[in-house]
Amino acid sequence: MRVIGLIVLLGLAWLWGWADGLREAKLVWRGAPLELSPPPLWDGRELWLPVVHLERLGLTLEVHAHAVRLPHIPADQPSAYVPVEAKREHLSIPLRDLVRRLGGYTRWDEATQTLSASARLHELRLEFPLLHLKTSLPVAWRAFALENPTRLVIDLLGCVLPEVPIPLPEPSGTISAVRIGQYDPHTVRIVLETHAPHATPDSGVHNEWQVALAPLTPVVETTPANSPESASAASTPLPEPFRLPTLRRNAQGAVQLTLPIPEGARPRVQFLENPLRVAIDVPGYLPEAIEQLVDDPSLFVRAMRAVPQDGGLVRLVLELARSLSVQVLPGTTSLTVNLRLPRNAGGKLSQKVIVIDPGHGGTQAGARWREGNTVIEEKTIVLAISKHIAELLAREGATVILTRAEDKTLGLYERTALANSAGAHFFISIHCDSNPRPNSASGTTIYYHRDDADSRALGQAILNEIVKVSGLPSRGVRSDTTLYQNGLAVLRTSQMPAVLIEVGFINHAKDRAKLVDPAFQKRVAEAIVRGLKAHVEGR
């Protein structure tokens, strides 16, 4: 009887493990095995990974109840969504399918019941002194130096070479040769032969990054003449540390700072809010973060900070004392940053003429959302917000013009013609956002025209206040050329600083619940007025 009972138990175990065609499996990611509980399951062709483990993979994905959205694929394409299925009580995603859509590579090892997932190397570009790398998935990379001959080695862990070989960069600067190969099944190795010592880059996890190859300045270590080590003393290459720049006020009232950069470098600039900041990434060496407070209010900056970044880069952060027109002008060997008061800023808000433009209207409903028999329309929401703004501005003593105060149709060029003819100081257009896939995007975006630094400053000041009260994420202040090559008509044709505010997404449940709430509409209107007042009066 005991033997029969054991057979029954073994049979039940077999049925649990195999009746559904699934087997527990292992996963190798970025060249290293992952310990996962609950484990992935293999069905003979596909590895089903519980979605609770997706965060461990370091991928930028939008997880929904029935699918995972791939943000790099347009939302209106079916390939942008990978279906999620229940496997042994856990929502799981087909990992091989996901990796394939992201441009990666997978290999199944039957003997060890292991799936190895790897990125493919997409780009290797040398623009001395920067080496640009791009892979289909994030990889763990590390760099180290070798001598005789002098070489810089960069290993990409969890990466394979592309099926079609990519062109190798031409030698440039102190780089005399570039080699690339599959060092082992999980590692791509890049070797740069150099004529001069270089700063050894750090390591990190990225799928698109830069490695700075700025040559080092040798520093000679001296020892006393009678020291036994004096005969073998050698020069030790040490990088020149990054230094915070000096702020100078010029005759035109602008504040300038200059950063030395290697020839050919392309600094990255970001404009951030809460608090207002400008962040600039440049090649450089910095062992630890440094900070300097600025006490002189005429210099427009409260503090400067420098923080080391991966890949031999340094991030310079300027914390602004107020909204400013910021121009970043890269030169051959240096970068100049100009800070000045934006056009029409200064003075009092009560002295300004402001045009508030509720988007759409009349036959142009704008974005719409239907819930049963109820239709929610953009034109109604933005008119309510705009009326609140107009009322609050009037209390401040400003001259306010609404392009429409009721539900009527109005052409795009009529709106800006009204503002231009009135000699308005600012034009603010209010909208709600939408996209093809409901619940896939959330938050507030503010647009300005092309590279208009004055309008960008206005947008930053307003967004800085909205994010404090909205409970919605910030999607940043963006150029309208990210939407259309020629930008947005109401911004392009405005003769004054102008912004278009997408308050939230009408087709996102969280955003929509807020957008239709009168209390939220009032809070956003108050925030817009506070931002505008801070922009004008510098508070």
Which structural domains are found in the chain, ordered by start? 20-102 (no CATH), 119-218 (2.60.40.3500), 248-340 (2.60.40.3500), 349-537 (3.40.630.40)
Give the whole-angstrom CA distance, residue 377 versus residue 506.
8
45 pLDDT band (50/70/90 cuts)? very high
207 pLDDT band (50/70/90 cuts)? confident
Which tens digits make up the pLDDT trace of 127-157? 888 889 999 999 999 888 777 778 888 999 9
Which amino acid, one-letter code, is at 475?
R
Predicted local confidence at residue 468, as pLDDT:
93
Sign (positive or negative) of CA dihedral 341, 347, 352, 354: positive
H or E element that contains 459: helix 453-469
431-456 as b/e, with b when 16 or more CB fall inside 10 Å? bbbbbebbbbbbbbbbbbbeebbbbb
Predicted local confidence at residue 223, as pLDDT:
44
H or E element that contains 260: strand 255-260
Which tens digits make up the pLDDT trace of 318-341? 999 999 999 988 888 888 999 999
Q: Check whether 18 has a pLDDT greater than 70.
A: no
103-107 long-range CB contacts below 8 Å, 24 or more apart?
103/136, 103/137, 104/136, 104/137, 105/160, 106/47, 107/185
3-class DSSP state for residue 90? strand
Percent of the chain with pLDDT over 70: 89
| Mean pLDDT score, 433-455 | 92
Question: Would you state the structure tokens that stand for residue 177, as one six-digit string?
Answer: 């040769």
Give the whole-angstrom CA distance, residue 47 versus residue 207.
23
Q: Check whether 210 has a pLDDT greater than 60.
A: yes
Which amino acid, one-letter code, is at 264?
G
Which span out of 229-238, 249-258, 304-313 was modeled with the highest average pLDDT?
249-258
Which span out of 79-93, 227-241, 257-271, 487-501 was modeled with the highest average pLDDT?
487-501
Of 468, 470, 447, 464, whose CA–CA distance to 524 is shortest? 470
Beta bridge partners of 108: 115
Which tens digits make up the pLDDT trace of 28-44? 999 889 999 999 999 99
196 pLDDT band (50/70/90 cuts)? low
| Mean pLDDT score, 186-211 | 79
* Helix, strand, coil % over all residues of the chain, rounded to 5: 25, 40, 35
Return mean pLDDT, the chain.
87
Question: Would you state the structure tokens that stand for residue 297, as one six-digit string?
Answer: 């209010």
